Amino acid sequence: MISHVLSADPHSWKYIPSPRPGAVKSRPQLVSIAEQNQRTGSGAFRGLTNDNQRWWIKPLNNTQDPRVTVTELIVSRAARLIGAPVCEASVIEIPEDLADEEFLPGVGLIPGLAFGSRHVDDVLEERALTHRREDDNRTRHAGVYALYDWCWGSDDQWLYQTSDDNRLFSHDHGQYLPGGPYWTVRRLEEEVNTPHVQACDPRGVDPSALRACAQRLDGLSGSDLGEVLAGIPSEWPVSDAELAAVGWFLERRAPAVSLRLQKMAESMGEE
């Protein structure tokens, strides 16, 4: 279990360095837009970076809200702390020489820092949590349940890699946290103790994987979360105080989410 004393309120959470060091100095730089995608609500596009990698990129002037980038990076990196099956995430630099390059018809890029989710080959996107008996999805679905409750999931979207037995990836987390990109300190305070269990049948999920996620949640420290939040670029539209509220929210939720996962595992027995 979390052994240190939990902060009483978001204003007393002190695990983010001030000033924030921001994103790492060495980060992928966008070279070209490889594919526009008008089907997404945010206008995310596929881009090629200078390390010859492909990313799905959401710039600050995406068609939803600039703070989508903040929520995406927080959830993707928090997911890694508990072993949830998410796509690799990174801050992507958009250079000056790509200013005004259209990523949607009539919408040009602005130079600066964007959010990137690593492209996965051969995937189909589904809204249902399926293919549980294929690949190691019995384990990966456990991570989905943990992340969804802990980070207040919404707008369910899963990728299934058809060339690898429908291996599951959780992606597109811009609507996570209470209120999605429009979350506020007050909303986080209001919902911190509210269960947010995913509304789908957990039968067939690996009980040992649920317990493993529970143990990782129990082992989290404020410093772990502070490191995640310190990586949010200072250029993005979120204050230290707001990030501290997210850290407080995730730290306070972790023990209760862990208990819910353990109870879920107990209800299924050893399958």
- The pair of structure tokens assigned to 78 is 């928090």
The confidence score (pLDDT) of residue 1 equals 43
Name the nearest CA neighbour of 89 among 112, 120, 110. 120
The confidence score (pLDDT) of residue 58 equals 96
The confidence score (pLDDT) of residue 271 equals 54
- Residues present in the chain in total: 271
Q: What's the CA gap between 164 and 123, in Å, rounded?
A: 9
Instruction: Examine residue 10 and say whether the peptide bond preceding it is cis (omega within 30 degrees of 0).
Output: no
Q: What's the CA gap between 29 and 270, in Å, rounded?
A: 47
Q: Please state whether the predicted TM-score (pTM) of the whole model is above 0.85.
A: yes
The confidence score (pLDDT) of residue 155 equals 92
The confidence score (pLDDT) of residue 3 equals 45
The confidence score (pLDDT) of residue 53 equals 96
The confidence score (pLDDT) of residue 24 equals 56
The confidence score (pLDDT) of residue 6 equals 82
125 φ, ψ (degrees, to nearest 5): -100, 130
pLDDT tens for the chain, residues 1 to 271: 444 568 778 988 999 877 676 555 678 999 999 988 766 778 899 999 999 999 999 999 999 999 999 999 999 999 999 999 999 999 999 999 999 999 999 999 999 999 999 999 999 999 999 999 999 999 999 999 999 999 999 999 999 999 999 999 999 999 999 999 999 999 999 999 999 999 889 999 999 999 999 999 999 999 999 999 999 999 999 999 999 999 999 999 999 999 999 999 999 876 5
The confidence score (pLDDT) of residue 41 equals 73
- The pair of structure tokens assigned to 82 is 């508990």
CB 73 within 8 Å of CB 62: no
Q: Where are the beta strands (DSSP E) in the chain?
A: 30-35, 45-49, 54-58, 89-94, 102-104, 107-108, 112-118, 123-126, 158-161, 167-170
128 φ, ψ (degrees, to nearest 5): -100, 145
